[in-house]
Amino acid sequence: MRRLPVWLRRRIFRIGHFVLRPYWLVVRPRVRGVKCVICRGGEVLLVRHTYGQRRYWELPGGAVKRWEEPPEAARRETAEELGVDIAQWTSLGSLPARLYRRRDTLFCFGARVDDIDLHIDAGEIAEARWFPRDRLPSPLGRHVRRIVALVG
The 10s digit of each residue's pLDDT in 63-114 is 999 999 999 999 999 999 999 999 889 999 998 887 766 778 899 999 999 8
Is the per-residue pLDDT at 27 higher than 70?
no
Domain with residue 50: its CATH number is 3.90.79.10
For 32-47, the pLDDT digits (tens) are 899 999 999 999 999 9
Asked if residue 55 is part of any domain, the answer here is yes
Reported pTM: 0.86
Note down the domain range covering 42: 6-148
Asked if residue 1 is part of any domain, the answer here is no
Q: Other C-beta atoms within 10 Å of 117: how many? A: 7
Rounded distance, CA 110 to CA 79, Å?
Answer: 15
128 pLDDT tier (thresholds 50, 70, 90): very high
Give how many domains the chain has, as a whole number. 1
The pLDDT of residue 26 is 66
